[in-house]
């Protein structure tokens, strides 16, 4: 049987990965017996099997074969200070002897909340949840409660977590006729979800206005990731976020920013960076210092409804066993204290260095790829065309999915831990050294894969 040069390289990449990660192969086989797919979170697995990480330190992770990787995943942007940050760990150790959840309001919650309210311009008051999913769920519920309407607009490609309303058009309508058609993603999500969620392409204010006109009487709000953080790192076009603010005001709906990822863009999130104020904000990830967390907040007029009084017809209920638990609060306070302007400038500067490095690699190798960056996070995208929404991104990726998989595996072979969707995230312990090593490894990887690219994805050349 003849093997093409492309196939030969693909086989080599996988063979070297298997040779390097033999313990992971065994652990994966064991895990598969008791967890479907051998994992409990789709985003962390890939074929032939994922590397099992044993520990992390600073911006490095180590697998069970003792391989070292520079960690550009950072638990999907939540580990802003890397692994085992000494200040966060010291704070946690001290807190462990005082209790983990006291089932009362606590001083730590007040301290954490003051930090959030001081930093996020549009937020006067906050409530805590245990995940970003719950934070966006509560943000949407708040909009519905305030407006007494059920419908929301969401953007294609925006990821807001795993609740039903969020599982609509993360993957876009691939053949839209006019406005995209809304669909639920996956079994088990009621079709009735679509009665209350309509979708627009990101960066398309005309589409938003069309929906606002069409459903004006039913719409409570618009939920928006200020950039498509989980899908290509597609930034907002100049004026897009401001345009959303104006449209929300003009049509009397609430604007929700999901800043679960974008909070790291400045000391007060993308809203501070772009000077656009939403009505309701959801946050998570880094505000928990590496521990589970979410929070949602808004102006006092909206949040006062959570001061629950069953006699108040405007009141909104909110509860949760682990909300504001002492460990997440402690770690979050320590994390945010270190996440000051200097830290923001440091990671954003390294983000630029990484993106510039990747751009240089693609130019040198004559590859039609691009690094799209927003601050300290970026994505390698397999096209040189401008990307402004999820459909454009998916269409560029479809012919390159196997290449994307090989790039990811080959980077693991060369000691770089990136997200399988070709995402790279900077953490504060990184220096120019780690960034430059990553650029070099990306260059080596693409140079090595050139015969594969010539054979399988020649449109990239």
Binding residues for ligand PMP (CB under 6 A): 76, 131-133, 136, 159-161, 225, 229-230, 258, 260-261, 284, 294
Q: Which residue out of 49, 159, 291, 452 is catalytically annotated? A: 159
Q: Which is nearer to ligand PMP, 142 or 457 (CB)?
A: 142
The minimum distance between CB 323 and ligand PMP, in angstroms, equals 14
Active site residue 258: yes
Q: How far apart are the C-alpha atoms of 360 and 376, rounded to whole Å? A: 18
CB of 15 to ligand PMP, least distance (A): 32
Helices and strands (H, E) in the chain, number of each type:
15, 14
User: Contact, 351 vs 371, CB < 8 A?
Assistant: no
Residue placing its CB nearer to ligand PMP in the complex, 162 or 440: 162
159 catalytic residue (yes or no): yes
Smaller CB distance to ligand PMP: residue 50 or 132? 132
- Tally of CA atoms within 13 A in the half-sphere of 438 that contains its CB: 33
- CA-to-CA dists, residue 301 to 42, 146, 371, angstroms: 39, 10, 41
* Residue 110: how many other CB atoms lie within 10 Å: 11
- What is the side-by-side order of every strand in the sheet holding 377-381? 370-374, 377-381, 423-425
Give the phi and the psi of residue 296 in degrees, each rounded to 5.
-135, 150
Which C-beta is closer to ligand PMP: that of 136 or that of 142? 136
Closest to ligand PMP by CB, 136 or 396: 136
Query: What is the smallest separation between the CB atom of 42 and ligand PMP, expressed in angstroms?
Result: 11
Of residues 358, 356, 365, 355, the one with CA closest to residue 452: 365
Among 258, 279, 291, 420, the one annotated catalytic: 258
Contact (Cβ atoms closer than 8 angstroms) between residue 368 and residue 459? yes
Cβ closest to ligand PMP, residue 159 vs residue 362: 159
Q: Minimum distance from CB of 160 to ligand PMP (Å)?
A: 5
Number of neighbours of residue 209 by Cβ within 10 angstroms: 16
**Rounded to the nearest whole angstrom, what is the least distance from the CB of residue 278 to ligand PMP in the complex?**
13
Q: How far apart, in Å, are the Cα atoms of 353 and each of 170, 339, 343, 345, 373?
A: 30, 20, 15, 12, 11
Minimum CB–partner distance for residue 40 and ligand PMP (Å): 12
Q: Which is nearer to ligand PMP, 294 or 297 (CB)?
A: 294
Q: Using CB atoms, what's the residue nearest to ligand PMP? A: 132
- Catalytic option among 167, 285, 420, 441: 285
CA trace torsion 74, 259, 234, 352 (10° rounding): -50
Rounded CA gap, 169 and 154, in Å?
8
What's the Cα-to-Cα distance from 448 to each of 63, 424, 445, rounded to whole Å?
24, 20, 5
Instruction: Supply the minimum distance, in Å, between the C-beta of residue 284 and ligand PMP.
Output: 5
CB of 419 to ligand PMP, least distance (A): 10
Nearer to ligand PMP, 165 or 225 (CB): 225
Catalogue the E-assigned strands of 192-341: 197-200, 219-224, 254-258, 280-284, 294-298
Check whether the bond before 399 is cis (ω within 30° of 0): no
Among candidates 371, 383, 385, 459, which has minimal Cα distance to 423? 371
- The set of catalytic residues is 159, 258, 285
């Amino acid at each position: 049987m003849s093997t093409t040069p492309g196939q030969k390289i693909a086989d080599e990449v996988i063979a070297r990965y298997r040779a390097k990660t033999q313990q992971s192969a065994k652990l994966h086989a064991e895990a598969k017996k008791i967890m479907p797919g051998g994992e409990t979170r789709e985003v962390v697995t890939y074929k032939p099997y994922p590397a099992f990480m044993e520990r992390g330190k600073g911006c490095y992770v180590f697998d069970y074969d003792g391989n070292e990787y520079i960690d550009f995943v950072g638990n999907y942007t939540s580990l802003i200070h890397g692994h085992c940050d000494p200040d966060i760990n010291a704070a946690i150790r001290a807190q462990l002897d005082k209790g983990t959840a006291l089932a009362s309001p606590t001083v730590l919650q007040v301290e954490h909340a003051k930090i959030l309210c001081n930093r996020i311009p549009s937020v006067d008051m906050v409530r805590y949840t245990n995940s970003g999913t719950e934070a966006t769920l509560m943000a949407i519920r708040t909009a519905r409660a305030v407006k007494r309407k059920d419908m929301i607009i969401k953007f294609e490609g925006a990821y807001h977590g795993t609740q039903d309303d969020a599982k609509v058009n993360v993957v876009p309508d691939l053949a839209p006729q006019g406005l995209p058609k809304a669909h639920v993603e996956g079994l088990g999500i009621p079709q009735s979800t679509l009665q209350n969620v309509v979708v627009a392409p990101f960066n398309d204010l005309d589409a938003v206005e069309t929906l606002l006109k069409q459903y004006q009487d039913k719409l409570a709000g618009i939920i928006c990731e200020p950039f498509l953080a989980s899908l290509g790192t597609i930034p907002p076009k100049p004026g897009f976020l401001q345009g959303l603010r104006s449209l929300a005001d003009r049509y009397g709906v609430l604007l929700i920013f999901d800043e679960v990822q974008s909070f790291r863009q400045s000391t007060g999130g993308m809203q501070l960076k772009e000077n656009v104020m939403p009505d309701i904000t959801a946050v998570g990830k880094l505000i928990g210092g590496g521990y589970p967390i979410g929070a949602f907040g808004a102006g006092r007029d909206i949040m006062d409804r959570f001061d629950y009084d069953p006699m108040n017809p405007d009141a909104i209920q909110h509860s949760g066993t682990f909300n504001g638990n002492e460990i997440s609060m402690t770690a979050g306070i320590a994390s945010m204290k270190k996440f000051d302007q200097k830290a923001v400038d440091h990671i954003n500067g390294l983000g630029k260095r990484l993106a510039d490095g990747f751009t240089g690699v693609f130019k040198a190798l004559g590859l039609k790829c691009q690094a799209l960056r927003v601050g300290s996070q970026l994505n390698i995208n397999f096209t040189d065309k401008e990307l402004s929404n999820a459909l454009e991104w998916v269409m560029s990726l479809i012919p390159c999915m196997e290449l994307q998989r090989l790039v990811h595996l080959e980077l693991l072979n060369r000691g770089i831990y990136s997200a399988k969707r070709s995402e790279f995230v900077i953490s504060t312990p990184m220096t120019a050294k780690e960034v430059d090593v990553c650029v070099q490894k990306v260059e080596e990887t693409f140079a090595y894969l050139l015969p594969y690219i010539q054979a399988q994805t020649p449109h990239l050349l």
